[in-house]
Homo-oligomer: A and B are copies of this chain.
Amino acid sequence: MARGRKVNSNGERSKQLLREKAIELFSTKGYYQTKISDIVKAANVTQPTFYLYFESKDSLFLDLNEQFQTNLYQNIENVAIQHNSQMPQVLHSIFEYFQENPLLTKIGLYQSEQSHTVKEKLVEILEQIIRKQEQLSDHLDPHIIAECLVGSIERVTLTLLFAKHKTVEELVDQLVSIYYNQTNKVAFLV
């Protein structure tokens, strides 16, 4: 193949394509088993083209994580403002975001080292919501509940939501049933 510009080539498209392929590969095979050569092969360009648009493999990965986190927080915040930080709605927004960005979620929630940060942040957010509830059995520690809840979210997202065995609504419903009392549960299912 000759050197230089391809017919009908377009930088923004190439960058986008590379990004998409990178997301696909990172999310499936993980960071270390995804080689730049895999990414560019999938995007049908050569290796230098990758470096035309991204600083390095590492920085691209970090970018993706940042994107994942930023959007997630934004989403949650929007919902929190609209719905007065009601747990069911917040959970719904989280699952929905994951469902709409499964690949990015796989990267940001299960593969990166940054995933710790996200989960900690989620714990923090959910703990606050829990604390706002009245009628907390004083036997229960809100922090532990929040940790458990985040663990549950993490797991069911992977095994039930991504596997399409359950819908967002079903998951929220079940989680609320487990973590909240019956009355709440009913209230939520409007």
Residues of A near any B CB (own CB < 8 A):
31-32, 119, 123, 133-137, 139-141, 144-145, 147-156, 159-160, 166, 171, 174-175, 177-190
Contact = CB atoms under 8 A, between A and B. Distances in A.
Q: How many copies does the complex hold?
A: 4
A139 B190 contact: no
A147 B162 CA distance: 14
Contact of A151 (B151, B174, B180, B183): B151
A175 B166 CA distance: 23
Given A144-B156, A156-B144, A182 B137 contact: yes
A151 B148 CA distance: 7
B177 A137 contact: yes
Contacts of A175: 148
Nearest to A171: B144
A99 B181 CA distance: 31
B147 A152 contact: yes
A140 B184 contact: yes
A144 B182 contact: no
A189 B133 CA distance: 8
A155 B154 contact: yes
A48 to B, nearest CB: 9
Contact of A148 (B133, B174, B185, B188): B174
9 closest residue pairs by CB, A with B: A151-B155, A181-B189, A148-B152, A151-B151, A32-B32, A137-B188, A137-B187, A151-B152, A180-B189
